[in-house]
Amino acid sequence: MTSANFIPSTKPLPFELHPSSIQGTGAFAIRRIRKGTRIIEYLGERITQDEADVRYDDEAMDRHHTFLFNLDKRTVLDAGTVHNEARYINHSCAPNCEALIDKGHIYIYAITTIEPGDELVYDYGYERTPDMGPEAEALYVCRCGAPNCRGTILAPEKKAPARKKSATKSKSVTKSKSKAASKSRSKKDAGVKKSAGQKKSASGASKAPKRAKSPSRKRAG
């Protein structure tokens, strides 16, 4: 289940690792975890973007990886080598956790109250590119089993902006999708290719993170 490069947490964790119906090994709560709790740091070997491209090419692999997180435009955390228990938290389209960057470290937070026996999950939200089609969705298939499962761990397709109504001058207010809006902490998005105009919540936290993508990459931050 773990490798020689596994670094176990030195603090008691609120979850244990067990086989998961979603994928391989998963993390399951052994006590109640309250919403907003910082659960664990996501550890990984710090490597350059170029090195990550050399190590992983999903299109040439039998199965895609889920180990990489972009920390910034230069640095990637690779949990395929050095890692801890956080590596085994699976994806779900109905997440109860999220990953956020805080002062150069990635932490997993609870976004709902998690009861004992529940599996800890967050939305990997791999970034889509315009050239991605059915083949990409098949490569990044999701088996989370959630009622709202979108069938892939790729981020939802962006919808075309709604056309303006000519009959009224009232403006529609777009609600932030950030799950961290209620947090007093200031966090950054653990994501891939953040756009300069990415919206932030009132607390300064960017919206939910995205795992480093593989198809059509170079991850340029």
pLDDT-derived band at 65, boundaries 50, 70, 90: low
Residue 189: pLDDT over 50: no
| Fold of domain 15-157+179-189 | Beta-clip-like (2.170.270)
Residue 88, both tokens: 């085994």
Residue 156: pLDDT over 50: yes
Assess contact for 79 and 211: CB atoms under 8 A: no
Average pLDDT over residues 129-141: 81
Residue spans of beta strands (DSSP E) within the chain = 15-19, 25-29, 38-42, 45-48, 68-70, 75-78, 90-91, 97-102, 105-110, 121-122, 188-189
Report yes or no on whether pTM surpasses 0.85. no
Residue whose pair of structure tokens reads 């303006």 in the numeric block: 164
Residue 128: pLDDT over 90: no
- Dihedral sign from CA coordinates of 132, 194, 81, 89: negative
pLDDT-derived band at 109, boundaries 50, 70, 90: very high
Ordered by start, the domain boundaries in the chain are: 15-157+179-189
Report helix, strand or coil for 34. coil
Alpha carbons within 13 angstroms on the beta-carbon side of residue 74 total: 1
Lowest model confidence (mean pLDDT) among 78-87, 193-202, 211-220: 211-220
CA distance 45 to 52: 10
Average pLDDT over residues 118-126: 93
- % residues pLDDT > 90 (the chain): 43
Residue 164: pLDDT over 80: no
Decide which of 73 and 166 is more confident: 73
pLDDT-derived band at 218, boundaries 50, 70, 90: very low
Using alpha carbons only, give the angle 16, 69, 216 rounded to the nearest 5 degrees: 130
Residue 52: pLDDT over 60: yes
Residue 2 Ramachandran class (φ > 0 left, ψ -120 to 50 alpha, else beta):
beta
Look up residue 177 and give its amino acid. Answer: K
